[in-house]
Amino acid sequence: MINKKESIKSKQRGIPVSPSMEPTLEDIYLTGEKPNYNLRSVKISIIAILLGIAGGFIAQILTRLIGLITNVCFYGAFSFQFVSPANNQLGLWVISIPVAGALIVGLMARYGSTGIRGHGIPEAMEQVLLNESRIPPRLTFLKPISAAISIGTGGPFGAEGPIIATGGALGSLIGQLLKTTSDERKTLLAAGAAAGMAATFGSPVSAVLLSVELLLFEFKPQSIIPVTLASTAATAVRILFIGTAPIFALNNVAQPGSLALLIYLFLGLILGVCSVFVTKAVYLVEDTFDKLPIHWMWWPAIGAIAVGVVGYFVPHTLGVGYDNIDHILNGSIVGRALIILFVFKFISWAISLGSGTSGGTLAPLFTIGGGLGAALGSVILMLIPNSGIDIRIAALVGMAAMFAGSARALLASIIFAFETTLQPYSLLPLLAGCSSAYLISSLMMRNTIMTEKIVRRGINVPNEYTVDFLTQIPVKDYATKNVVTIKAEDLFSTVRKWLVSGLEGSLHHAYPVVDKSGKLCGIVTRRELENINLPDDAQIKEIIKGPLRVIYENNSVREAADIMAYYKVSRLAVVSRKDRQELISLITHADILKARRMHIEKEKLYTRYISLNSIKKQKEER
C-alpha cells in the first residue's frame, strides 16, 4: 500500500492512482520507477540463508543415512560412516541386496508418491514450468528416504541428485507455507537445490550456475542473490563437518601447451558424441521397461537384478562411487581395470535408472566420463608422447564434458570441475573440452538427459536465455505517426456519415478524440461509433468511456504490449512526458506484431545467410 503523501505526489506528476491507493501497471511503466523489491528481496534472501543451512544439514543426514544402510546391508555393522559396498564378502548373496532395496522403493513409489522415481532434477523442472514451483510436501521426506535405501543397498547412483531434489522440495514447501509469488517459490526451490549440490561437493559457484541453467531459466538479481546466499550457507555447513579440502584433489599439474589444448578440445568432441549415446541409451532402457506387461512398481527390482549381477563381478560399480572418481582423477585406476569400471558402471546405472528407481545422475556421469577421458588420454599419450597432455586432466575434462554434453549445463560443468579440484591449470582444458562436447551434443541431440522425459510429456523446456527483442526497441520506432483524430465537439451523425464515405482516414479501427485546443480526451473505436445508439445531435465526447490508457515514446514496445494485455485494450495513445494530453502518435497490437515480424524476418535472413555460406564452403572443399 502507498501512503497519502505518495498518492499526492503521484497526482502532481500526472499519474493516476487507483482507489485502492496501489500503483497500477501503467503507473509503474509511465513513471519509469520499477517496483521496489529491496525489502521483499531481503526477506527472501534471509529465508534462502536459513534454507541453505537446512540444506547443508540435510546433506550430512542423508549421507550418514546412506552410510548406515550400506554398513547394515553389506557388512552387518551399525555405523553411520560413509563407506563403499565394494569390499563386501557376501558372495552371490550380494545380488539380493539391491533387489530388496528396489522392492522397497517400488512400494514407496506406488503407495507414497510416484515423484520419488528418477533422479529428481527433471521432476523439479516440471514443477517449475507447469505447477508454479509447487512440489508436493510429502516428497520432502519420501525422496531422501527412498534414495538412501536405493543407494545404500548398492544402487549405482550419486547422493547429490536426491539431495538436490530434497533441497528443492524443501524450498518449494517453505514457499507454499509462506505468502510468496510463483517467482519467489521458484527462487526458493532453486536455492534449496543449489544448497544441496553445494553441501555435497563443496562447489557453491557451480551449484548456482546449475540452478540458473536447469531450474531458474533466468538471470536477475531477485533470483540470483537468494540462490547464491543459500549455496554459500550450505557450503559453510559442509566446512563445519568436512573442512575446506577439495573433494577430488589434484596436485602437481603443469600448465598445458597449445598442442595439449587442441587435444583436450578433440577429447571434448569425442565425449560429446559419447554423451549423446549415454543419454539415448538411458531412455532406450526406459522405453523397454515401459513395454513390460507388469506394473511399474516391480521395474526397479528387475533393474536391480542387473545391478546385483554386475556388482558381483565388478564390486566397485555398487553404490555412490565418489572414491572411484577420486581414483580415476589421481591415476590410481588404469588400463583394463579402468575400462571395466566405467563400462560396467554405465551398464548398471543405465539399466537401474531406466527402471524408474530413485537415484542421481551426476556421480555416474562423472565416473563414466572420467574413465573414458582417462582411457582416451592414455591412448593419445602413447601415440603422441610429446603432446604435453596430463592423463589426470584428460580424466577431469572427460568427467566435465560428459556432464556438459548430456545435461547441457556448460558453465556449471566447467566451474564444478574446477571447484572440486581447485586446480587452476585445468580451466583452459575444461573450457575447450566442455565447449566442444556441448557443441556436438547440441548438433546431434534435441533434448538432454534432464529434459527428454518431460519433453515427451508435451512440456516446452527453455534452452536459451535471451533478452526479449521487444524490450530493446522504443515505442516511437513502430507507432503510427500520422494519426487521424476526431474532434470532441463533432456531432455523432456527422462522424457516422464520414465513416461510410470511404474518404481518406475513414477506414481506421479507432480514433483519438481531441478537444478544440488539440488536447487528448480519449479514444473511440469504429465498432463503438457504428453500434451505439445516440441522438444525431449528440457530441462524440459523450461516447468516451473508461480510463484512457497511454504510454510514452521512449517506453519499450514490450511495456506497451504488457499494458495492452493487462487492461485488455488493443491500442495506446502515445503522449508527451511534459503533457499527457499532448498526442504524439498511436500504437496498436498490429504495430507490435509488425515489430515482432520484422525481427523474425531478420533472423530468418541471417539463418539463410549462414546456410548459404555453409553450402558454398562445402562445394569449395569438394
| Range from 206-215, 396-405, 493-502 carrying the lowest mean pLDDT | 493-502
One domain, residues 350 and 491: no
| 489 inside domain | yes
Query: CA angle, corner 303, sides to 298 and 307, nearest 5?
Result: 140
What is the rounded CA–CA span in Å between residue 33 and residue 15? Answer: 12
**Distance between CA atoms of residues 8 and 12, nearest Å:** 6
pLDDT in tens, 43-102: 899 999 999 999 999 989 988 999 999 999 999 999 988 888 988 889 999 999 999 999
Angle at 373 between CA 369 and CA 377, to 5 degrees: 175
Cβ neighbours around 103 below 10 Å, total = 17
3-state secondary structure 287-329: HHHHCCCCCHHHHHHHHHHHHHHHHHHCHHHCCCCHHHHHHHH
| CATH code (residue 411) | 1.10.3080.10
Alpha-carbon gap, residue 549 to 433, rounded angstroms: 53
Asked whether the predicted pLDDT for residue 487 surpasses 90, the reply is no
Query: How far is C-alpha 227 from the geometric centre of its chain's CA atoms?
Result: 13
pLDDT band at residue 492 under the 50/70/90 scheme: confident
Helix or strand or coil: residue 486? Answer: strand
Query: Residue 35 has what DSSP assignment?
Result: -
**Distance from chain centroid for Cα 527:** 45
Residue 385 in any domain: the answer is yes
Looking at residue 488, which CATH number applies to its domain? 3.10.580.10
Question: 502: how many CB neighbours lie within 10 A of its CB?
Answer: 8
Weakest-pLDDT range from 107-111, 455-459, 573-577 = 455-459
Average pLDDT estimate for 265-293: 93
Give the C-alpha separation, 64 to 430, whole Å.
32
Kindly tell me if the per-residue pLDDT of 262 is higher than 60.
Answer: yes
> What is the predicted pLDDT for the residue at 582?
86
Last residue of a domain, one of 176, 210, 242: 242
Q: Which among 269, 252, 358, 374 is positioned nearest to 324, based on CA atoms?
A: 374
Those residues with Cβ within 8 angstroms of residue 402's Cβ, 6 or more apart along the chain or in another chain: 271, 274, 275, 278, 365, 366, 368, 369, 370, 372, 373, 437
Residues 64 and 193 in one domain: yes
Please spell the DSSP secondary structure of 327-368, one letter per residue: HHHTT-S-HHHHHHHHHHHHHHHHHHHHTT-B--SHHHHHHH
Q: Give the pLDDT confidence score for residue 7 in this predicted structure.
A: 40
Higher pLDDT, 270 or 447: 270
Do 120 and 224 fall within a single domain?
yes
pLDDT at 357 over 80: yes
Give the 3-state secondary structure of residue 572. Answer: strand
Across the chain, mean pLDDT equals 84
- Same domain? 384 vs 339: yes
592 and 446 share a domain? no
Domain membership of residue 606 (yes or no) is: no
pLDDT in tens, 123-178: 667 777 666 677 777 877 888 888 889 889 988 888 777 788 888 888 888 888 88
The arithmetic mean of pLDDT across residues 19-26, rounded, is 55
Query: In terms of domains, do 448 and 483 share one?
Result: no
Residue 582, strand partner residues: 519
Contacts of 288 (CB under 8 A, 6+ apart): 354
Q: pLDDT tens digits for 358-396?
A: 777 888 999 999 999 999 999 999 999 888 899 999 999
**The predicted structure's pLDDT at residue 376:** 94
Task: Choose the final residue of a domain: 426, 455, 484.
Answer: 455
Q: Which residue, 455, 482, 510, sits at the end of a domain?
A: 455
Q: Residue 533 corresponds to which amino acid?
A: N
Q: Which residue has the higher pLDDT, 324 or 468?
A: 324
Is there a single domain that holds both residue 71 and residue 29? no
- Residue 557 sits in which domain range? 469-596
pLDDT confidence bin for 439, thresholds 50/70/90: very high
Task: Clarify whether residues 321 and 297 are in a common domain.
Answer: yes
Number of domains in the chain: 4
CB 588 within 8 Å of CB 480: yes
| Residue 289 or residue 215, greater confidence | 289
Nearest to 119 by CA among 346, 248, 277, 282: 282
Q: Which set of grid coordinates corresponds to residue 591? A: 504495430
Global confidence as pTM:
0.81
Q: How far apart are the first and last CA of the chain?
A: 70
**Residue 522's pLDDT band (boundaries 50, 70, 90)?**
confident
**Whether pLDDT at 511 is above 60:** yes
Q: How far apart, in whole angstroms, are the C-alpha atoms of residue 74 and residue 478?
A: 71
Model pLDDT, residue 6: 40
Of 115, 114, 116, 122, the closest CA to residue 449 belongs to 122
Assigned domain for 535 exists: yes
Share of residues in the chain with pLDDT > 70 (%): 89
Residue 599: exposure state from Cβ atoms within 10 A (0-12, 13-18, ≥19): middle
Give a yes or no: residue 522 inside a domain: yes
Q: Tell me the average pLDDT across 506-511.
A: 80
> Tens digit of pLDDT for each residue in 174-223?
888 888 888 888 889 889 989 988 998 899 999 999 888 888 878 888 88
Same domain for 49 and 181?
yes
Residues 77 and 54 in one domain: yes
Q: Residue 621: inside a domain, yes or no?
A: no
Q: In this model, does residue 332 exceed pLDDT 60? A: yes
Mean pLDDT calculated for residue range 326-333: 89
Q: Does 603 reside within a domain?
A: no
Helix (H, G, I), strand (E, B) or coil at 596: helix
Strands 571-575 and 583-588: antiparallel
pLDDT at 620 over 60: no
- Per-residue confidence at 21, pLDDT binned at 50, 70, 90? very low
- Statement to judge: residues 151 and 300 lie in one domain: no
With respect to residue 250, please indicate whether it lies within any of the assigned structural domains: no
- The confidence band for 614, taking pLDDT boundaries of 50, 70 and 90, is low
Judge if 377 and 319 occupy the same domain: yes
